[in-house]
Amino acid sequence: MARYPSEILILGAGELGTAIAQAFASYRDANPSKVLRLTILRSGVRRNDSTSSELSTMDVKLVHMDIVGTTIEVLASTFSNYDTVISCLGFASGPALQMKIAEAAVQSTVKCFVPWQWGVDYDTIGRGSAMPLFDIQVDVRDLLRSKLGQNGSSISDTGPSRRWIIISTGIFQSFIVLESYGVVVPSDTGTKKVRALGSWETLTAVTRVEDIAQAAVAAVCVHPETKGIIKIAGQNISYEELAEVISRVTGKEVEKEMWGLDDLKKEQEQEPNDVMRRYRVIFGGGKGVAWTREETWTAVQNMMGVEEWLRKYWIYE
C-alpha cells in the first residue's frame, strides 16, 4: 500500500529546490489535516540571505551540511531521519555527487527517493553521448533498479515498500532563451535570431520550474502510488514553432539560422570542454529530449507553454 509522506528532505536551495519547497508548503497549507514537515538541506556553510528568510516564512526548516565532504554513511544516516528525499543538487557540485546521493539513499531507510534527474531521457540517450555526465545519470538509474526494484519499488523485509521516482522534464523554460545556450540570440539588425539545432522540425521538451515543482508534489503526495520514471512537459516545441513564438512575443520578424548536427559536432570537437556546445549536440540530435503525448504523465494539468512563459517572464532588449 502506498504510504503518505510526513517528513520530506529537499537537497539544495537553488531555483528548483526553493520552488519545490514552496509547492510542498502550499500543498501542506491547503491540506491542514495532513502532517507534512519540510526541511531543506543546503550544501556548504551556513549563511543568512534572502533564501533563508523566504524559507523561514514558509515554515521550512533549513539545515546545512558539507554534502561533498560528508561520507556516504553519514549521508545515509541523515536521510534515514526522513521518509522522502528529493535531490535538487545538480552537476555544479561535482560529477561524483549524483552517485553518492543515490548510494546514500539506497543505504538509508528512506521510503521515497527522487534523484536529480530533472531533464532528458538518459536511458534513450544512453552512454557515450556528447555529455559524459549523462553516463553518471544512467549509472544512477541502474543502481536504483538493482537495489530498489526495476519498476520503481521494492518490498522491504523489515517494513513498508520503498520507491524511487524519476521525473523527466526536458529543459527548464528559462534555458531555451538563455543567450549563452545560443538558440535565441540578438541579431545584427536589432531583432532576434533563432537557431535550429539539428533541424527546424527537431522537438525539445520544455517545462517551467514551478510546474516541475507541482509534478513533484503530485508524484510524492497526491498520487503516492507513483513510482519509476514519469515524463512531463509544459510543451514539446520545434525550433520552427519557437521562431514563430519569438516573433509574436517581440512583435518583430526574426532571423533564422540552421545549425546542422554535423556542424554542431564539429563545433563541439573544437572546444571539447564547452558544456553549452555539448548540450547543443545532445538537443540537436533530437534523441531522448522530447516525448509523445502518450508518454507524458498527465496528473498535473494546465502546465505553462513556451509563449505564455515568455510573455510573463522573459525580459529582452
Q: Cβ distance 86 to 8 under 8 Å? A: yes
Where residue 223 falls among pLDDT bands split at 50, 70, 90? very high
pLDDT value of position 153: 82
Q: Give the pLDDT mean for 93-122.
A: 96
> In this structure, what DSSP letter does residue 296 have?
B
The helix or strand, by DSSP H or E, that contains position 154, with its residue range, turns out to be: strand 153-154
Residue-level length of the chain:
317
Quick one: which of 96, 121, 74, 97 has its CA closest to 11? Answer: 97
| Whether residue 209 has pLDDT greater than 70 | yes
| Grid cell of 306 as nine digits | 513556451
pLDDT value of position 45: 59
pLDDT value of position 34: 86
| Grid cell of 45 as nine digits | 556553510
- Residue 301, phi then psi, degrees to nearest 5: -100, 165
pLDDT value of position 242: 98
Fold that domain 7-169+207-231 belongs to in CATH? Rossmann fold (3.40.50)
Look over the chain and give the mean of its residue pLDDT values, rounded to a whole number.
Answer: 93
Chain centre to alpha carbon of residue 297? 15
- 166-190 as b/e, with b when 16 or more CB fall inside 10 Å? bbbbbbbbbebbeeebbbbbeeeee
Q: Give the pLDDT mean for 179-202.
A: 96
pLDDT digits (tens, 9 = 90+) for 58-75: 999 999 999 999 999 999
CA torsion angle 135 17 293 201 (round to 10): -60
Composition of the chain by helix, strand, coil, percent to 5 = 40, 20, 40
Task: Find residue 255's DSSP bridge partners.
Answer: 193
| Grid cell of 84 as nine digits | 522522502
CB neighbourhood size of 76 (10 A): 18
Where residue 2 falls among pLDDT bands split at 50, 70, 90? low
Is the model more confident about 196 or about 2?
Answer: 196
pLDDT value of position 3: 65
Where residue 47 falls among pLDDT bands split at 50, 70, 90? low
Give Rg (Cα) of the chain: 20
The helix or strand, by DSSP H or E, that contains position 50, with its residue range, turns out to be: helix 50-57
| Whether residue 46 has pLDDT greater than 70 | no
Helical segments of the chain, H only = 15-30, 50-57, 72-79, 97-107, 122-125, 133-148, 173-176, 209-217, 239-250, 261-270, 275-285, 306-313
CB neighbourhood size of 99 (10 A): 16
pLDDT digits (tens, 9 = 90+) for 79-89: 999 999 999 99
Where residue 48 falls among pLDDT bands split at 50, 70, 90? low
pLDDT digits (tens, 9 = 90+) for 135-171: 999 999 999 999 999 888 876 554 568 999 999 999 9
Q: Cβ distance 169 to 214 under 8 Å? A: no
C-alpha span between 152 and 306 (Å, rounded): 31
Chain centre to alpha carbon of residue 53? 24
Q: Cβ distance 116 to 124 under 8 Å? A: no
Q: Give the pLDDT mean for 120-143.
A: 97
Q: Where exactly are the structural domains of the chain?
A: 7-169+207-231, 172-205+234-291+304-313
Q: What class has domain 172-205+234-291+304-313?
A: alpha beta
Percent of the chain residues past pLDDT 90, beyond the cut: 85
| Whether residue 176 has pLDDT greater than 80 | yes
| Grid cell of 307 as nine digits | 509563449
pLDDT digits (tens, 9 = 90+) for 264-300: 999 999 999 999 999 999 999 999 999 999 999 989 9
